[in-house]
Amino acid sequence: MRKKEWSLVATFEESASMLEVVREKTGTVRQKRTVETKTGVSVYYLCKHARKFSCPYQMHHFKPEVAGGRFELYEDGTHCCDTAEYKSGLTRKQREAADLAMKM
Ligand SMILES: [Zn+2]
């Protein structure tokens, strides 16, 4: 499995505005898992197409267990679902042409 390379997207003071960004980027707010540690809470999010198209895009937020701690939002990977979704909307012939174009 590929090593995760989380890159910081932004930090937020409250969860509402952070979740707005998560929703915008993943298409949903689907929590994959929550991990609680001594230092804070991590929540992981998947792309809404994660299952259908095996989209590897993920987000992750960390909320430190300190007063006034800001939410840190990270992302990893790039969407592959955009292309897959687009292709599934094409006719078979168009799709074959698109596949061919990608190979060239
Ligand atoms: Zn995706």
Residue where the block lists tokens 């012939």: 93
Q: For 104, which DSSP code? A: -
Q: Ligand 1 centroid to 28 CA: how many Å?
A: 10
CA of 82 to the centre of ligand 1 (A): 6
DSSP state string for 42-103: EEEEE-TTHHHH----EEEEEEESSTTPPEEEEEES---HHHHHHHHTS-HHHHHHHHHHHH
Q: Which residue has the higher pLDDT, 41 or 4?
A: 41
**Using 50, 70 and 90 to split pLDDT, how confident is the model at 4?**
confident
For the stretch 72-96, pLDDT in tens is: 999 999 998 876 555 566 555 666 6
* Residues 10-27 pLDDT 10s: 999 999 999 999 999 999
**pTM of the predicted model over 0.85:** no
Q: 83 alpha carbon to ligand 1 midpoint, in Å?
A: 9
Q: How far apart are CA 23 and CA 50, in angstroms?
A: 14
